[in-house]
Amino acid sequence: SSATVGASKARDGFTSSFGVLAATLGSAVGLGNIWKFPYLTGTNGGAGFLVVYVCATLLVGLPVMISEIMLGRRAKSDAVTALKKLAPAGQPWWLISAFGVLSAFLIMAFYSEVAAWVFAYVFKAIGGGILSSDPKVTSAAFGSLIADPVQSLLWQWLVLVLIGGILLMGVAKGIEAVTKKLMPLLFLLLLVIGVRSLMLPGAMQGVSFLFTPDFSKITAGVVLTAVGLAFFKLSIGMGTMMTYGSYFRDDQNIPATTLRVMCADLFVSMLAGIAIFPAVFAFGFKPEAGPSLLFITIPAVFASMPLGQLFMVAFFILAAIASTGAMLSILEVPVSVLSERFGISRPKATVLNLLLLAVIGASCALSNSSMAEFKLFGMTMFDLFDFVTSNILMPLGGIFLCLFVGWVWGFDRLKAALSNEGQLHNEALVRVLFVVVRFVSPLLILVVMLKGLKLF
Ligand code: PFF
């Protein structure tokens, strides 16, 4: 309204309900669905892992995500400032967000390298060089890409520059505008490719791998992996959803939006699984290939089908799109902290973060070449950053967020915030959520972490 104009410049934010959904879903959907979910499901025994993962998403992911978005919208500021504002004076809850900034860097460091492979594959697919139905040829092609330090670094820088460019345009004109265009395209492409994969001879073996559970492979470590994947998938436990929540409109129904994002995200993972596993079995690959699964099997799959090159180009464009929305949201955490909390201009904050990332990211880009021997706790930097964020930092962030909402913030404020000050009548739901956030989620995460890390 005109009364408030002039006091201070309005804070940037999402402008439409569809924009909120596109951006939030754009953050959740990413290489997590297309790269990580399939390879983790493949290495951890298939449908049994899927069941545990879905449980983790419902019992931990959903409540943490609702809480985090709610806190962000309440505070309407960057993640560090948000918890400073909301917590009682002197209590260091903002440390959750400080660690979130750390997680953002560590995730972005390896994520941008996987995105780099995806972007490189778009061009390789167009050139036709990786189009072979022989797994030996496709694994050699992938091997030569990741073992080449120059290509690894250059593609990563290209990705970083692209993401930086979009972030420079701001929240509404950058993030929202881009994800609104890209997300519908992504769904369309994935549907087409899923259907194509299901039509392959032998596809049913892959479908049954994905949907017939066998719990014999489920260990404490596997459960922790599933919980970690739930955090990674929903972009929670590190301030991303808090930051996006701060751009939510006041009339947005947070629980409903979150539920929609969670379902759509699971749906995309299923589609990715359906696109990949039937093909894996149809062509005699092993589902346990690990992180390279996407880059070795998918080209071989497409090489063996009519119009394969076209589908392959489409698939990697799709993966590139998905990774873009996610990376925007990861980087938005430190960019908003630097620009809002420390008063650095948004362009400067973006460039500063990118420069820092180019340095940290190089250790991941080179994890398969020059720095392959550089290991900590027996892992390359790529593997270490991945492991530490999903299995330690994000779940820990989740525990503390739950404790904050359940024990410090309290029921009345939770109810006011989630019902949009009484506009929505969802008291029963808020009650359930409150109990879950106060007791169930934090205890569950704690036990899974202690057992999974063999600390107990
Ligand atoms: N959710 C993204 C994916 O599954 O690809 C990854 C991600 C985005 C993790 C944002 C963390 C984050 F803050």
pLDDT of 242 > 50? The answer is: yes
Q: Give the mean pLDDT of 353-371.
A: 96
Residue 421 lies in domain: 17-452
User: What average pLDDT score do residues 432-451 get?
Assistant: 98
Q: Whose CA is nearest to atom 7 of ligand 1?
A: 235
354-368 b/e (C-beta count within 10 Å ≥ 16 → b): beebbebbbbbbbbb
Q: Is residue 129 included in any domain, yes or no?
A: yes
**pLDDT > 90? residue 177:** no
Q: How far is CA 330 from CA 78, 104, 297, 310, in A?
A: 13, 6, 28, 31
Write down the H helix ranges in 199-253.
203-211, 220-233, 240-245
For residues 77 and 179, the model is more confident at: 77
Which has the minimum average pLDDT: 6-15, 290-299, 373-382?
Answer: 6-15
Which residues neighbour 411 within 8 Å (Cβ) at sequence distance 6 or greater? 430, 431, 434
**pLDDT digits over 198-241, tens only?**
888 888 999 999 999 999 999 999 999 999 999 999 999 999 99
Buried b (16+ CB within 10 A) or exposed e, 48-58: bbbebbbbbbe
pLDDT of residue 3: 39
pLDDT tens-digit readout, 248-268 = 999 999 999 999 999 999 999
Given a cut of 50, whether residue 7 has pLDDT beyond it is no
Confidence bin at 4 (pLDDT 50/70/90): very low
Give yes or no for residue 229 CB within 6 A of ligand 1.
no
Q: How far is the C-alpha of 268 from the C-alpha of 190, rounded, in Å?
A: 8
Ligand 1 neighbour 353 (Cβ under 6 A): no
440 Cα: distance to centroid of ligand 1 (angstroms): 24
Checking ipTM against 0.95, whether it exceeds it is: yes
CA angle at residue 190 from 189 to 193, to 5 degrees?
A: 85
The answer, yes or no, to whether residue 307 has pLDDT greater than 60, is yes
Min mean pLDDT across 18-22, 137-141, 232-236, 302-306 is at 302-306
pLDDT at site 107: 98
Looking at residues 359-388, what average pLDDT do you find?
97
* Ligand 1, pocket-test mutation among 53, 329, 385, most atoms within 8 A of CB: 329
pLDDT greater than 90 at residue 43: yes
Q: Does the residue 10 lie in any domain?
A: no
User: What is the identity of the amino acid at 383?
Assistant: D
294 lines ligand 1 (CB under 6 A): no
Residue 115 falls inside a structural domain: yes
324-357 pLDDT, tens digit each: 999 999 999 999 999 999 999 999 999 999 999 9
Q: CA 48, CA 222: separation in Å to the nearest integer?
A: 10
Give the count of domains, the chain: 1
Atom of ligand 1 nearest to the CA of 37: 4
Amino acid (1-letter code) at residue 295 = F
Please give the average per-residue pLDDT across 284-310, as a whole number. 83
pLDDT at 175 over 90: no
- Predicted confidence at residue 226, as pLDDT, reads 97
Q: What is the pLDDT of residue 9?
A: 61
pLDDT value for 289? 81
Answer whether residue 361 is part of any domain. Answer: yes
DSSP string, 125-139: HHHTTT--S-HHHHH
Q: Select the more confidently predicted residue: 306 or 124.
A: 124
Q: How far apart are CA 402 and CA 414, in angstroms?
A: 12
Assess if residue 109 is contained within a domain.
yes
**Band of the pLDDT at 108, cuts 50, 70, 90?**
very high
- pLDDT for 53-72, tens place per residue? 999 999 999 999 999 999 99
If one residue of 65, 103, 107 were mutated to test the ligand 1 pocket, choosing by the most ligand atoms within 8 A of its CB, it would be 107
User: What is the CA(234)–ligand 1 centre distance, in A?
Assistant: 6
pLDDT of residue 383: 96
User: Which of 412, 430, 109 has the alpha carbon at shortest distance from 256?
Assistant: 430
Whole-structure pTM value:
0.95
**Any idea which residue has 């109990």 for tokens?**
435
**Which residue has a Cα nearest atom 11 of ligand 1?**
235
Quick check: is 248 in a domain? yes
Tokens 């993966």 belong to: 319
DSSP label at 216? G
What mean pLDDT, rounded, does the chain reach?
92
Q: Which residue has the tokens 């929305």?
A: 325
Please say whether the beta carbons of 318 and 156 come within 8 A.
no
* Stretch 265-291: mean pLDDT: 87
CATH assignment of the domain containing 61: 1.20.1740.10
Residue 375 maps to a domain: yes
Least confident of 81-85, 300-304, 335-339, 346-350: 300-304
Please give the share of the chain, as a percent, with pLDDT higher than 70.
98
- Report CA(383)–ligand 1 centroid distance (Å): 16
**How big is the CA angle at 394 (ends 220 and 166), to the nearest 5 degrees?**
135
Closest atom, ligand 1, to C-alpha of 104? 13
Query: Which atom of ligand 1 is the closest one to the Cα of 34?
Result: 5
How remote is the CA of residue 324 from the centroid of ligand 1, in Å?
Answer: 10
Averaged pLDDT for residues 45-49: 94
pLDDT of 2 > 50? The answer is no
Confidence of residue 5 (pLDDT cuts 50, 70, 90): very low
In this model, does residue 8 exceed pLDDT 70?
Answer: no
Asked if residue 333 is part of any domain, the answer here is: yes
